[in-house]
Amino acid sequence: MIWGENMNIQIQLCGMALLFIIVLLLVGQRKINVSSQKVFNTILVCVMSSTVCNILMTLFLQVYKMQNIFFEEILTRIYMLSTIFVCALSFIYFTVELEYVIADIVRLRRAATAVMCVSVFAIIICNIEYRFDSKFGVVYLRGSAVNMAYIAAVVLVLSNFIILFRYKRYMDKRRWEAGLVWMTMWICSALVQYFNHVPTIDYAGALGVCLLFIKLENPESYLDRETGLFNEQSMKLFMKSLYKKNPNFSMITVATNESMYSSEEISGKKALLMAIKISEFFETLGAEIVVKHVGWMHTLVFENSEKMKIASEKIQKRFSLKWDADKKYTDIQVKPIIFEFPDCSIAENETQMLEYVNTFVNENIKTSTSKLLVFDGKYIDKITENNKISAMIVDAIREDRIEVFYQPIYSTKNKLYTSAEALVRIREKDGKLVMPGVFIPVAEKNGLIIELGKVVFRKACMFLKENNLTDKGIKYLEINLSAVQCVKEELAEQYIEIMEELQIDPKTINLEITESAALSSKEILLKNMNKLIEYGVEFSLDDFGTGYSNLNYILELPISIVKFDRQMTNLYFESEKGKLIMDAAINMIKAVGTKIVSEGVETKNQLEVLEKVSIDYIQGYYFSKPISGSDFLELLKEKNQ
pLDDT digit string, tens, across residues 261-274: 444 445 556 677 77
Give 223-375's CATH code, choosing from 3.30.365.10, 3.40.50.20, 3.10.310.30, 3.30.70.270: 3.30.70.270
The dihedral of CA 529, 530, 531, 534: what is its sign?
Answer: positive
Closest CA to 612 of 568, 640, 576, 582: 582
Closest CA to 20 of 47, 55, 56: 47
Average pLDDT, the chain: 80
Q: What integer is the mean pLDDT of 508-531?
A: 84
Distance from C-alpha of 170 to C-alpha of 138, rounded to nearest angstrom: 45
What is the residue type of 177?
A: E
Predicted pLDDT at 345: 57
Alpha carbons within 13 angstroms on the beta-carbon side of residue 268 total 4
Q: Which pLDDT band holds residue 465 (cuts at 50, 70, 90)?
A: very high
| Domain ranges within the chain, ordered by starting residue | 2-219, 223-375, 386-636
Q: For strand 476-480 and strand 416-427, is the pairing parallel, antiparallel, or unpaired? A: parallel
* DSSP letter, residue 213: I
Distance from C-alpha of 171 to C-alpha of 183, rounded to nearest angstrom: 16
User: For the ranges 298-302, 374-378, 397-401, which has the lowest average pLDDT?
Assistant: 374-378
Predicted pLDDT at 519: 65
Predicted pLDDT at 401: 95
Q: What integer is the mean pLDDT of 8-29?
A: 79
Predicted pLDDT at 184: 84
For 141-158, the pLDDT digits (tens) are 666 777 777 777 777 788
Q: For strand 538-544 and strand 509-513, is the pairing parallel, antiparallel, or unpaired? A: parallel
Closest CA to 3 of 182, 210, 202: 202
Q: What integer is the mean pLDDT of 423-452?
A: 92
Burial 214-227 (b: 16+ CB within 10 A, else e): ebbbebeebbbeeb
3-state secondary structure of 562: strand
**What fold, for 386-636?**
TIM Barrel (3.20.20)
Q: What percent of the chain has pLDDT over 70?
A: 80
Per-residue pLDDT at 369 exceeds 50:
yes
More confident residue, 448 or 6: 448
Predicted pLDDT at 221: 77
Closest CA to 589 of 617, 621, 619: 617
Question: Which H/E stretch holds residue 439?
Answer: helix 436-446
The architecture CATH gives domain 2-219: Up-down Bundle (1.20)
Helix boundaries (H) for 96-172: 104-125, 144-166
For 103-153, the pLDDT digits (tens) are 667 677 777 777 777 777 666 666 665 555 555 555 556 667 777 777 777
Q: Do domains 2-219 and 223-375 have the same CATH topology?
A: no
Q: What integer is the mean pLDDT of 600-627?
A: 92
More confident residue, 421 or 27: 421
* DSSP letter, residue 627: B
